[in-house]
Structure 1
């Protein structure tokens, strides 16, 4: 894998696959450990994306509307 950070969706989908493979079993201890470590990295990437999204939403919600009087009046 490259050093480029995957999108949230890519990381989530790969994490889902990692969990499925771990739950299925039949892996060697080394394979299981490698998958677990990859899953931990993917979970951290997902959390980073989600924290960024939360920050963006909080910033957007704290920005006052340009003209709240017009926004409240339908006409």
Structure 2
């Protein structure tokens, strides 16, 4: 699987599991809702720093965004 799609799917799944909206993550992380939407669709290529900051906003490890096989 493409790494961008993997990260996007993991991000979307974790966000939903935690009951958070993209707008709430925007408030927590400073990344725009448009960026987050593109990320979830696998259209963004996040940096390591971005992955870390998004994971912090979700309250998980950045490694959780990279785990294969944890997508639905």
Which structure has the bigger radius of gyration? 1
Q: Which has the higher contact order (CA 8 A, sep 6+)?
A: 2
Structure-1-length-normalised TM-score: 0.28
TM score, norm. by length of structure 2: 0.29
Higher helix content, 1 or 2: 1
